[in-house]
Amino acid sequence: MVNIGLTGGIGSGKSTVARLFQKRGAYIIDIDAIAHLVEKPGGMVWNRIVEYFGRKILNKNNIIDREALGEIVFRDSEKLEELNSIVHPAVFDEWRRRLDDIGSKDEDAIIISDIPLLIEVGWHRAVDLVILVYTSPDVQTERIMERNCYSYKEAKDRLRAQMPMDEKIPFADFVINNKGTLEETEAIVDRVWKELPGKGRNAKNQEMKR
Ligand code: ADP
């Protein structure tokens, strides 16, 4: 199996590019979906989050209100760290479980995990290859204004809160330039897709420390 981390910035086109790889036969793991799963009532970390932040972060169905939680941790780095220390290990374990599960059934699997914070949390050390979906900040701004109905200022604030995409380039084995049309991106995906088989380096996975 080849274990690939797909990353980028907000609105750079990770989901779009993941779908293009899926069409070509890649298995896709969506790390945000795993985070939602472990945080839902009955999920692995629901209890600990509620214990730490209190029931005020729950909506009426006992579902964790991610907006409310986001508001709290956005202003308080200590609480953000605590939240991450609760959520990340559980997400990491579930991610590994899914990788192992797919790998045990299909040893030639090309698995692409969409992980927005791959580099920020250090999980690039737990994959065989990093693919960066790259766009310029201007294109990113335009696309998230359109997708999320953000004002110019809201879009810029979100970009500013992130690691600049140029700083992610040195970590990438492949950079997919998604500034152009979807057809242009699809042509790059075709080229990269042909390069992926046989690039698994399982030994590297054992070195990962959380
Ligand atoms: P991410 O998953 O990185 O946040 P998305 O894949 O959702 O980004 O892309 C952000 C927005 O930009 C979406 O509305 C998507 O349809 C659009 N988009 C992505 N790539 C392109 C492209 N090459 N041309 C035009 N629109 C695009």
Ligand 1 nearest-atom number relative to CA 18: 6
Q: What is the pLDDT of residue 114?
A: 98
pTM of the model: 0.92
Q: What is the pLDDT of residue 210?
A: 39
* Closest C-alpha residue for ligand 1 atom 19: 13
Q: What is the pLDDT of residue 172?
A: 98
Domains of the chain, each with CATH number or no CATH: 2-202 (3.40.50.300)
For residue 16, the CA-to-ligand 1 centroid distance in Å is 6
Pocket of ligand 1 (CB under 6 A): 8, 10-16, 143, 147, 178, 181-182, 185
Please provide residue 48's backbone torsions phi and psi, each rounded to the nearest 5 degrees: -70, -35
Q: What is the pLDDT of residue 65?
A: 95
Q: What is the pLDDT of residue 204?
A: 47
For residue 150, the CA-to-ligand 1 centroid distance in Å is 14
CB 65 within 8 A of CB 58: yes
Q: What is the pLDDT of residue 202?
A: 56
Helix (H) or strand (E) holding 183: helix 182-195
* Closest C-alpha residue for ligand 1 atom 10: 11
pLDDT in single tens digits along all 210 residues of the chain: 999 999 999 999 999 999 999 999 999 999 999 999 999 999 999 999 999 999 999 998 999 999 899 889 988 999 999 999 999 999 999 999 999 999 999 999 999 999 999 999 999 999 999 999 999 999 999 999 999 999 999 999 989 989 999 999 999 999 999 999 999 999 999 999 999 999 987 544 444 433
Return the SS3 of 40: coil
Ligand 1 nearest-atom number relative to CA 147: 14
CB 129 within 8 A of CB 174: yes
Mutation probe of ligand 1 site: the residue of 19, 113, 143 with most atoms within 8 A of C-beta:
143
Q: What is the pLDDT of residue 209?
A: 39
3-state helix, strand, coil in the chain (%, to 5): 55, 15, 30
